[in-house]
Chain A
């Protein structure tokens, strides 16, 4: 284990900022304690105590990003399209992610960096992910929305992190997870330490055994889902706040008459428009249909297809739901049969 003193953190980040953008959780000005991950500049105050409203998934899946740009040109009587792809190559260090968020990166890797037969990996994700270094802050406390303990390793999860900081008196113990993390912890701001790791938070536990099958069994009981969603507003907050949600929309924007680009942006499965077809048919017309797909995707389909649960227990969807919905109640009801 390595140790870094509290006062050396700004120094560490300052050094990292020379070669990469550094992101850290910060309170948004003019708001009531809204914490977001944002680019950190020297002197900026880092908020490690509060829960961020959004995860930092935008570092690998920006809210909107360009896929390619195009330009039409005349060719005799007709026209031809010239297309230029984008290859993001950014170096970002993120400080202060929690284990749940870091784990979500590993979950996303299973989809976007998959090389299984018949699937493509995502060059944009890959470009950003490979340039990302994750310094995780281990949780020694939690609130009642947290439920990472429902998963195998709970707050001790290391997947997705490069280096994990454990808060101890006067600073942090630093446990490297990856090669990147090892290199990072080797610099002179760290020193070796034999201190014990602090006890990590024990969060709420939701029983997930058998949920994969149970959800499928409950799937057609639409009245159950209607009851479960009767106060759901069908907004997209839970999807956008979720570190593992990754669905996106693709749209084109023109820049003048002959040029423009194709973009992708976050999309949320709770939106009516998400599956609305141009014919007017919508296979998921009610919040109930969308919500059951949402949970089934997270706890049944994705585990089946990619071997990972599409949830890491961060609790944002519970903490921030404008309708005060707690999906753990629904999971419990499904488990109860």
Chain B
């Protein structure tokens, strides 16, 4: 499936990862265009249900990125996020969602290059998952 049709949602914390993505932009680092970034104050704001909601709505991939452990703008938001998201990641196979469609990571404000690489890699990963098994959205059947 060509990359353009992928739908990937990213939840980025305002202080590190969103700024890192900005940095990648300032450096004009080319990235795949399938990502839609949603800004949140902190990765700790990302209710795992938002990720599941994205999958319910048909997302092909979901990416969450926060400040590096120890660098949270709020002290420890990403530590809570890490627990919640790791659990979510391990639950995805049970739901029948390929865990390759989900990734959580930490990108700092200065890691523009790393961000660009990450987007490239994650998009590629989702692409491969997608090729192996098309995204199956839970279907509604309302008369």
Contact = CB atoms under 8 A, between A and B. Distances in A.
A286 interface: no
B142 interface: yes
Interface string A44-72: 00000000000000000010111000000
A327 to B, nearest CB: 31
Contacts of A65: 142-143
Contacts of B143: 62, 64-66, 88
A65 B143 CA distance: 5
Interface in B128-143: 142-143
Contacts of A62: 142-143
A64 B142 CA distance: 6
Interface string A261-294: 0010000000000000000000000000000000
A116 B36 CA distance: 55
Interface in A132-170: none
Contacts, number: 10
A34 B143 CA distance: 24
A64 B140 CA distance: 10
Contacts of B142: 62, 64-66, 263
Interface of B is mostly: loop
A325 B110 CA distance: 62
Contacts of A66: 142-143
A65 B142 CA distance: 6
Nearest to A128: B143
B88 to A, nearest CB: 25
A213 to B, nearest CB: 40
Nearest to A253: B142
B69 to A, nearest CB: 39
Nearest to A86: B143
Interface in B109-143: 142-143
Nearest to B141: A64
Contacts of A88: 143
B135 to A, nearest CB: 19
A9 to B, nearest CB: 27
A105 to B, nearest CB: 18
A174 B143 CA distance: 32
Nearest to B142: A64
A263 B143 CA distance: 10
A37 to B, nearest CB: 15
Contacts of A64: 142-143
A263 B141 CA distance: 13
Nearest to B140: A64
Nearest to A66: B142
A66 B142 CA distance: 7
Interface string A212-225: 00000000000000
Nearest to A64: B142
Nearest to A63: B142
Nearest to A58: B143
A160 to B, nearest CB: 22
B56 to A, nearest CB: 13
A64 B143 CA distance: 7
Interface in B31-86: none
Contacts of A263: 142
A236 B143 CA distance: 22
B57 to A, nearest CB: 12
A116 to B, nearest CB: 28
Nearest to A65: B143
Nearest to A265: B142
Nearest to A261: B142
Given A62-B143, A65-B142, 6 more contacts: A62-B142, A64-B142, A64-B143, A65-B143, A66-B142, A66-B143
9 contacts: A62-B142, A62-B143, A64-B142, A64-B143, A65-B143, A66-B142, A66-B143, A88-B143, A263-B142
Interface of A: 62, 64-66, 88, 263
- Please give me the 7 A-B residue pairs with the lowest Cβ-Cβ distance, nearest first: A64-B142, A62-B143, A65-B143, A66-B142, A263-B142, A65-B142, A88-B143
